[in-house]
């Protein structure tokens, strides 16, 4: 096999070549919305913090009520008195949640994306439903439009 032949380019040719190393803004609406919550001071039904099956059923119901589609789910309890970690894979992306009952703390992520449908309202509804159920006294919320 022969080595690839390259043609040297002049400095002028390089200077006038399009710059492909920079990211450019896209003219269309961002296809995704990522809602991130750090929920401190949670005062809620203890089953939401400790019981993986209960939290999974609650989250799946909230997903359906928001008009989103569950593809799969996995929730894990860390044992007596400990928290739960869970993730629901959505056709539109995901919901993930982690509880620390000993600290009254929950992290919640809801991310939805689609090039054909704006699911922002559904994402906000899902996030609000789940976050409100934990009754945080000090919620820290972040909204990121993904492109």
Catalytic residue among 42, 59, 87, 113: 113
What's the predicted TM-score (pTM) here? Answer: 0.79
| pLDDT number for residue 62 | 99
Respond yes or no: is residue 98 known to be catalytic: yes
| pLDDT number for residue 114 | 86
Q: Are 100 and 42 in contact (CB under 8 A)?
A: no
Question: Which residue ranges form the domains of the chain, and what is each CATH number?
Answer: 31-146 (3.60.90.10)
Chain segment 35-81, per-residue pLDDT in tens: 999 999 999 999 999 999 999 999 999 999 999 999 999 999 999 99
Q: How far apart are CA 54 and CA 32, in angstroms?
A: 29
What number of CA atoms fall less than 13 Å from residue 115's CA on the CB side? 1
Respond yes or no: is residue 59 known to be catalytic: no
| pLDDT number for residue 42 | 98
Respond yes or no: is residue 116 known to be catalytic: no
Q: Higher pLDDT residue, 123 or 16?
A: 123
Catalytic residue among 93, 96, 122, 140: 93
Secondary element (H or E) of residue 54: helix 52-65
Catalytic residue among 44, 98, 114, 120: 98
pLDDT-derived band at 29, boundaries 50, 70, 90? low
Chain segment 75-125, per-residue pLDDT in tens: 999 999 999 999 999 999 999 999 999 999 999 999 999 888 899 999 999
- Is the alpha carbon torsion for 123, 126, 129, 130 positive or negative? negative
Residue 9 predicted with pLDDT over 80: no
Residue 14 predicted with pLDDT over 60: no
- Non-local CB neighbours of 143 within 8 Å, separated by 6+ positions: 33, 34, 35, 36
The three-class DSSP label of residue 123 is: helix
């Amino acid at each position: 096999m022969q080595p690839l032949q390259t043609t040297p380019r002049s400095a002028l040719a390089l200077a006038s070549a399009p710059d492909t190393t920079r990211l450019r803004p896209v003219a269309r609406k961002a296809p995704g919305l990522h809602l991130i919550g750090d929920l401190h001071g949670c005062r809620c039904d203890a089953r939401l913090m400790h019981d993986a099956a209960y939290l999974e059923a609650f989250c799946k119901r909230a997903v359906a009520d928001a008009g989103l589609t569950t593809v799969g789910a996995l929730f894990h309890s860390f044992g007596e008195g400990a928290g739960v970690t869970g993730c629901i894979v959505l056709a539109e992306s995901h919901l993930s949640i982690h509880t620390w009952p000993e600290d009254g703390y929950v992290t919640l992520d809801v991310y939805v994306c689609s090039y054909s449908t704006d699911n922002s309202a559904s994402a906000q509804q899902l996030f609000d439903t789940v976050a409100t159920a934990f009754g945080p006294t000090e919620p820290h919320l972040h909204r990121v439009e993904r492109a």
